[in-house]
Structure 1
Amino acid sequence: MFGLDDFKSFVPAHDVGDWVEATFFDPSSPVANPEHDHLANAHIGYLWTVVENNRKGKRVIGQCETGSPQGAMGKWPRARAEQQVVEWFGSVPDFIITLDAEYCQQCGDAEFMALVEHELYHAAQDVDAFGAPKFNKMTGQPVFTIRGHDVEQFIGVVRRYGPDAAGVRAMVDAANRPPEIARAHIEHSCGTCLLRVA
């Protein structure tokens, strides 16, 4: 895939973008996922990193974030961060997905696919108060946002009250079916998720 010798902290992974489009977005792919159709025209930048990242005692192996610099930044730091993003991707992407290069070099195909799709599921089109997809009134382009998990519940609640009461019936039903692609194990190693864990 790549050599980690002489690797910079962060390197654009343009090959991953091409692979994602051919693998998950192209309807003729045997593992295409129509649940990502809203991303067909999204600009997604991908980065490899060798910077070790641990949060809440867990290794972070992937993270999806919006492309514009976030958080409390002064005008110069924000402009500097935006300049770096534009140098990497040609413009500010809708999303940036960062992948741990060391993990990805060692993991299996199913784990890599599961990791990338996990991050893609965080890349969502925003919805209005009625649940309809949101579009920019000036440009007509989709309004994107970071999406949390479908299920955020405690095992004890499910065990004591059942999947219907806990609102996780669809997840339980999905877990009781064999995997559509392959068994994979990526644990809870997503930087996007760990930012939201209380």
Structure 2
Amino acid sequence: MDQIRPFPQTDFIDQAEEEEAIRLIAAPDLKEWVITNFLTLGGELHNPDHDHIAELLHDDETFLAFAWASSAFTRAKRMVLGQCEKVMFNQGGWKKARQEQQMRDWFGFVPVYLITIDASFCEQATDREFCALIEHELYHIGVERDGDGEIVYSDHTGLPKHYLAGHDVEEFVGVVKRWGASDDIKRLVEVAKQAPFVSEKNIAASCGTCLIK
């Protein structure tokens, strides 16, 4: 039963509804599940694209933290179900101290990256929807590569150089309709025509939903 995917606590969602606000809580169980299934060699959902994250976490477990949000929020008229951010404090003085304290109260440390997931969505999402959302956010933790596609390592730390990555493809349907698809769009279409690499068997083994139905 250790493989059952983590579900958010319902009490903080209920509290948020009573307060008519969005509440957030730390999600250490989600982090542990992601490490076991996505970031560990031999994990049911392991993806070598994220090996740099695993290496950075192995060196420093404070590199990444996860949190549940009681509900989604709207940005540019779109519902945001997950968000990966590089934790930075642009303020100084007490503002910075307050924000750092909040992180330490939640996680016991100030992470380099924070992934926040909509708990209300995940309560009802299928295993495939849940896994796709988690992996989407992991892909935002990018790694620098040289002209040959090899990972660039820091001369100072000896670890992969990382950055907050944007999406591979960002385009309007209307532009493609009127002017045709760019090379990036064409590549995405070709990938979409293929069967997913991750099978239902792998998902079931890592999420365990079928085991508790």
TM-score by length of structure 2 reads 0.73
Cα-to-partner distance string for 1:130-165 (whole Å, 9 max, x where unaligned)? 8654444332233321101111233344445554x4
Match of 2:53 in 1: 39
Counterpart Cα distance in 2 of 1:134 and 1:30 = 27
Q: How does 1:91-110 map to 2 (within 5 A)?
A: 91-110=109-128
Counterpart Cα distance in 1 of 2:109 and 2:147 = 30
Select the residue among 85, 90, 93 that pairs with 1:75.
Answer: 93
Q: Using a 3 Å threshold, how does the CA distance of structure 1 residues 64 and 151 change in structure 2: closer, same or farther?
A: same
Q: CA RMSD in A?
A: 2.6
Q: Which runs of 5+ in 1 are unaligned?
A: 184-198
* 2:75 is equivalent to residue 55 of structure 1: yes
Q: How does 1:97-176 map to 2 (within 5 A)?
A: 97-127=115-145, 133-159=151-177, 162-163=180-181, 165-176=182-193
Which amino acid is the alignment partner of residue 84 of structure 1? Q
Match of 1:191 in 2: none
1:64 and 1:122 in contact (8 A); partners too? yes
Q: Using a 3 Å threshold, how does the CA distance of structure 1 residues 117 and 137 change in structure 2: closer, same or farther?
A: same
Which amino acid is the alignment partner of residue 12 of structure 1? A
Aligned-partner SS, 2:189: helix
Select the residue among 3, 9, 12 that pairs with 1:3.
Answer: 9
Select the residue among 15, 31, 42 that pairs with 2:29.
Answer: 15
TM-score by length of structure 1 reads 0.78
Counterpart Cα distance in 2 of 1:162 and 1:6 = 47
In the comparison of the two structures, how many residue pairs are matched? 180
Which amino acid is the alignment partner of residue 178 of structure 1? A
Aligned-partner SS, 1:102: helix
Aligned-partner SS, 2:11: coil
Instruction: Select the structure that is richer in helix.
Output: 2
Q: Which runs of 5+ in 2 are unaligned?
A: 1-6, 16-22, 58-62, 201-213
Match of 1:194 in 2: none
* 2:178 is equivalent to residue 180 of structure 1: no
* 2:85 is equivalent to residue 65 of structure 1: yes
1:26 and 1:32 in contact (8 A); partners too? yes
1:65 and 1:95 in contact (8 A); partners too? yes
